[in-house]
Structure 1
């Protein structure tokens, strides 16, 4: 099955589809931002592996030390996203992609692989039940059923930052931390900003544009984190409908 997949490299980045947002024109600005972000990460050992087709079938992971998440640990790989959608489900692609990541970690002499998840399935987070089939176990937790899962090869364990586990921020207005790691983010930011402006809702948008900022986000963060009244709300990206529902507009 390996011949069906391709890894994004500096040489093929511009010509390969990033399968999160293939055809939707409103997300093309986000795709460009994602490619720029990815271009800078590849030299750090970042891996984006996808099915060689125009479908949403891919895994994305990086060395934990350079992963833009508030997770710490030595010599681990961190999985940002493992996504198999629609008609591609049921073909063993997720299994193949995850096994590739695990094999890559072992080949590099890593201590293990980790990923953010939750006790009950939440949008934009990897499914705990699926990961458990491969030996991933809960090694740290945060309020709201959020969990850090790890497959350890040597008994060591990564952990969430203490600041992230507090799940709160000093800002009392609606506050959103966002990166450019996902092609959908740019459009989500525009929709949230426009909706809040039209309804006179105070909004604090915080661009997570460096590794240091990502490691210090005060809550669970994979590329997006929402706080309201100083308390963590969700990692789910919001469009106009989502923000209206949250705010009761």
Structure 2
């Protein structure tokens, strides 16, 4: 259980990033993630992973510098906790969560929070797993997203008011994104190509500063989709999911 490594400015270039592990070739999404991380690590961002070529990692940051429209004092925000494939059932997820909680207590944090949903979403960490550690719902949106938190001192974070807006003036397909997830670039290319083939106008807005992330009109974990002015999902899209949205 001790064979974990934390990414640092010194080892970032050499460590594989666990989300994409099927290729040894340079991957544009992975390289974009490395660039994004190189700026975040000095802000206290933590990426802890199993020292193996597998998807076993946790990623979290001080809420004040986390690129999400969530507000609160002295919290950590978990972006992602992921264990997949043959690594499941070995206690790695428990070890990673316990490390994050111990890190928060060691640094005098008020608690830890994460994005969840009333109905589990494919691109969000497992809410039921977090609840086993005492995470509770502390805020909600009208469309079923939840903010889960484990408070150490009775204080709680909340969604920024703008995150509950869930609507924009723009009526065309609009996608807000940042470069935190290695899958983003490839997904953008797929959606752009599909929109072009269908003749569907679309706007793609990169969230490239902390301020932009905090001011977003929707919940966000690196991706947010609007159509006809209404918020649709934080899930990355394949062609089928896109077509379902466009039929609305």
Give the TM-score of the pair, scaled to structure 2: 0.97
Which is further off, 194-203 or 24-33?
24-33
Aligned to 2:171: 172
How do 1:5-154 residues align onto structure 2 when only pairs under 5 Å count?
5-24=4-23, 28-154=27-153
Number of residue pairs the alignment of both structures matches: 248
SS at match of 2:27: helix
Q: CA RMSD in A?
A: 1.5
Aligned to 1:155: 154
**Is the contact made by 1:27 and 1:183 (CA closer than 8 Å) also made in structure 2?**
no
Aligned to 1:244: 243
**Is the contact made by 1:27 and 1:186 (CA closer than 8 Å) also made in structure 2?**
no
Aligned to 2:225: 226
TM-aligned CA deviation for residue 93 of structure 1: 0.6
Over residues 86-116 of structure 1, what are the superposed CA-to-partner deviations in whole Å (9 max), with x where a residue is unaligned?
1111111100000000000000000000000
- Whole-Å Cα distance in 1 between the matches of residues 198 and 115 of structure 2? 33
**Is the contact made by 1:9 and 1:42 (CA closer than 8 Å) also made in structure 2?**
yes
TM-aligned CA deviation for residue 167 of structure 1: 1.1
Which is further off, 191-200 or 61-70?
191-200
- Whole-Å Cα distance in 2 between the matches of residues 138 and 169 of structure 1? 26
**Is the contact made by 1:173 and 1:230 (CA closer than 8 Å) also made in structure 2?**
yes
TM-aligned CA deviation for residue 248 of structure 1: 4.4
Which is further off, 26-35 or 69-78?
26-35
Structure 2 vs 1, CA of residues 27 and 189 (structure 1 numbering), >3 Å: closer, same or farther? farther
- Whole-Å Cα distance in 1 between the matches of residues 75 and 234 of structure 2? 23
Give the TM-score of the pair, scaled to structure 1: 0.96
- Whole-Å Cα distance in 1 between the matches of residues 238 and 24 of structure 2? 16
Which is further off, 92-101 or 126-135?
126-135
SS at match of 2:179: coil
Runs of 4+ in 1 over 6 A off after TM superposition: none
Over residues 53-100 of structure 1, what are the superposed CA-to-partner deviations in whole Å (9 max), with x where a residue is unaligned?
000000000000000000000100000000001111111110000000
Unaligned runs of 5+ in 2: none
TM-aligned CA deviation for residue 242 of structure 1: 3.0
- Whole-Å Cα distance in 1 between the matches of residues 25 and 15 of structure 2? 18
- Whole-Å Cα distance in 1 between the matches of residues 23 and 188 of structure 2? 16
- Whole-Å Cα distance in 2 between the matches of residues 246 and 219 of structure 1? 17
**Is the contact made by 1:177 and 1:225 (CA closer than 8 Å) also made in structure 2?**
yes
